[in-house]
Amino acid sequence: MIIILLGYMGSGKSTLGKELATVLNYNFLDLDDYISEKENSSISNLFKTKGEIYFRKKETEYLKQIIDNSNNYVLSLGGGTPCYSENMALINNSANVVSFYLKLAIPLLSERLFTAKEQRPLISHITSKEDMIEFIGKHLFERIPYYSKAKYTINTDNKSLKEVLESILTHLI
């Protein structure tokens, strides 16, 4: 089985994914890290040098590769992955995949992301918390229709890592 975690940046996909993989004795894989390794380039550099269209094509190619050739993995997607190239159909039509949308409220996302915005090119230009909330709100409005296609939605607002893990494990039993 492949467990796919999706959601907006800052929702805890990588942190939770590593913990979940440990608990299940699965391998953990972050799709962005996988793409960087295969392309021998950072994601931000790929966007700069080859463009978003190239990146999105590679993202879908590698997602398909992982789903078709892997087992016993927890896979953390990039925040935009579900929104492009029929990726959610690929995920939902794969018999060996279970997907979880990690849903976190906009004010909580904003708090997490504002303090770490320098590491995230998409939001590094935002200068105030109010602008961050507005940016995330607009972005989520566009992305929620894709995120909500996950098999399960886990509301992570004010929940500990342990509580979120337990919610996911309950759905896997």
98-138 per-position pLDDT tens digit? 999 999 999 999 998 988 877 776 787 889 999 999 999 99
Query: What is the spatial distance between Cα 33 and Cα 127, in angstroms, rounded to a whole number?
Result: 27
Number of Cβ within a 10 Å radius of residue 41: 16
What is the pLDDT, as a whole number, of residue 103? 97
Is 32 one of the annotated binding-site residues?
yes
What is the pLDDT, as a whole number, of residue 75? 98
- What does pTM read for this prediction? 0.94
Is 143 one of the annotated binding-site residues?
yes
What is the pLDDT, as a whole number, of residue 44? 82
Is 112 one of the annotated binding-site residues?
no
Is 14 one of the annotated binding-site residues?
yes
Number of Cβ within a 10 Å radius of residue 7: 26
Is 120 one of the annotated binding-site residues?
yes
Query: What is the spatial distance between Cα 125 and Cα 135, in angstroms, rounded to a whole number?
Result: 11
Angle between helices 106-114 and 129-147 (to 10 degrees): 120
Average pLDDT, the chain: 93
What is the pLDDT, as a whole number, of residue 160? 95
Residue 51, class by beta-carbon neighbours within 10 Å (0-12 exposed, 13-18 middle, 19+ buried)? exposed
Q: Which fold has domain 2-166?
A: Rossmann fold (3.40.50)
Reported as a single tens digit per residue, the pLDDT across 159-173 is 999 999 999 999 997
Kindly provide the b/e burial profile for residues 53-88, where b requires at least 16 CB atoms within 10 angstroms of the residue's own CB.
Answer: eebbeebbebbeebbeebeebbbbbbbbbbbbbebb
Instruction: Indicate whether 76 pLDDT > 80.
Output: yes
Is 79 one of the annotated binding-site residues?
yes
Residue with tokens 């380039």: 41
What is the pLDDT, as a whole number, of residue 74? 98
